[in-house]
Chain A
Amino acid sequence: MPTASARLRRKLDLIAPAFDTPGRLLWEHPRAGELFPPFLAASAYVTLVTIPLMEAALERARVLAPDDAVAAGLAEYLERHIPEEMHGDEPGGAALDDLEAIGIDSDAFREGPLPQQIAALIGSQFFWIWNRHPISILGLLELEAFHPHTPSLELLIERTGLPRAGFRQLLLHAELDVEHAEELHRVLDALPLEPEHEQLIALSAMQTMAFLIDAWLDVVAAETPVVAGAGREA
């Protein structure tokens, strides 16, 4: 009998090639150095809200925990995992530092309009946490299993010609997320998940990936990518 994490991964195998497509376009693009900053920025929006999303899930899980073993186990995991993902005093601050290093003004980035796909991604997560079950957050976190790989990042740095400082968090997470994904899968397999929990986690992961595919394609498949704060010299 496959485990819950194996069942989830099998479903995500179906969307993984499409999830790789925008990055493949970036890799092959003659203007990769120009497109990488807005490409990274699209996922940096998610980085900025990951801690607040986990905190919302933790808050909801604590409320449900007395009568809900899945919520209790989730709360225990998030209490451990949130500090691991802080990476400094300000949630997402390290990612903003990387954007600055490749020419994106982080103040303008924060003040600019949120891409609609990213707004939908964030809104969906909050909706599921408060109206379905906070276990949905594990679908978002499952994207840790789709971390970048160090040798590929080294090639990308070379290909884009951008400062290495713009890749610090990607390089860090290429190492960290191997362990984080393994831990997440252990949690998934240990929780007393019912089929409806597994469906919600899978939907959360697939929908998150679909929103990111859409946002990334707006960068790499458009002639003139637009991102708030872009345009400074790196």
Chain B
Amino acid sequence: MPSNGGSNVDKLQEAGLITGELQDPYLHAINGLSKHEVDVLLAVKKRLDAADLWHNALLPEPQGQLPNFTRCIIF
């Protein structure tokens, strides 16, 4: 059940985060996002745009395309 009036996809499309036709499971996941979660995604898009780094990178690329060294997280 969409948590945000079913408009999450529209909002993300308007902001350029989504291009093309979405299918499940991502369609379902996006419809389930809260307003705050949508706002976080929009802020990330804006930040990447500011650095001219946006490459329609909302959805995962095929497995194995990216090296995973990138997560320099230590917990």
Q: Are the CB atoms of A213 and B47 closer together than 8 Å?
A: yes
B67, closest chain A residue (CB): A152
How far is A11 from B32 in the complex, measured between Cα atoms in Å?
9
- Residues on A with beta carbons closer than 8 Å to the beta carbon of B69: 23, 27, 148-149, 152-153, 155-156
What total of chain A residues lie within 8 Å of the partner, measured CB to CB?
Answer: 55
Count class of interface residues, chain B? 35 or more
How far is A152 from B71 in the complex, measured between Cα atoms in Å?
10
A25, closest chain B residue (CB): B53
Verify if A44 is at the interface (C-beta below 8 Å from B).
Answer: yes
A41, closest chain B residue (CB): B72
Q: Are the CB atoms of B33 and A21 closer together than 8 Å?
A: no
- A143-B73 contact in complex given A25-B53, A155-B67, A206-B37, C-beta closer than 8 Å: yes
Interface majority SS on A: helix, strand, loop or mixed? Answer: helix
- Residues on A with beta carbons closer than 8 Å to the beta carbon of B66: 17, 20, 24
- Residues on B with beta carbons closer than 8 Å to the beta carbon of A180: 75
- Residues on A with beta carbons closer than 8 Å to the beta carbon of B29: 7, 10-11, 13-14
How far is A116 from B37 in the complex, measured between Cα atoms in Å?
20
Interface string of B37-75 (1 = CB under 8 A from A): 100110111011001010001111100001111111111
Contact of B73 among A13, A173, A213 (CB under 8 A): A173
Interface residues of A (CB under 8 A from B): 7, 10-11, 13-27, 39-40, 43-44, 46-47, 50, 85, 95, 141, 143-144, 146-149, 152-153, 155-156, 169-170, 173, 177, 180, 199, 202-203, 206-207, 209-210, 212-214, 217, 221
